[in-house]
Amino acid sequence: MAPEPEFWKSKPLAEMSHIEWEALCDGCARCCLHKLEDEDTGEVFYTSVVCRFLDESACRCTNYRARSVLVPECVKLDPDRVDEFHWLPDTCAYRLLAEGKPLAPWHPLVSGDPETVHTAGISVRGKVVSDEFVPEDAHEEYIIHWVEQ
């Protein structure tokens, strides 16, 4: 069953169905980027190194159901962890809604088009390298600072 139109405007994250929750994902795949955290400040830095299970052109996990088994450090987003969403990109629908902010105009739920996240330059498509090719001790060399659009 498809979610109700504009469900995110009237329903808290904790009350969303599984289908609604999954529909919030904009398909940017920024959550699949390897991140580094400054132990002193807690600041999170994104790298251009992406999980080996990401299909970069589709910006989707190639084995979504088994992701936590294949990559134990893969964080599963769920409504019980909303208070931890500070590490998500500031464009992420889960973080935006948790902070009481609206979805961006390019978000597929708003635009009606799953390609707008890519045409707006928000997704990782064409901007990343797989962790298959970058040793973990070299991730710091891949820190990125994307300008939001």
CA–CA gap between residue 37 and residue 23 (Å, rounded): 28
pTM of the full predicted structure? 0.87
Query: To 10 degrees, the CA torsion angle through 22, 28, 33, 38?
Result: -90
Tell me what pLDDT residue 65 has: 85
Low-confidence ranges of the chain (pLDDT < 70): 1-2, 147-149
Residue 149: per-residue pLDDT: 47
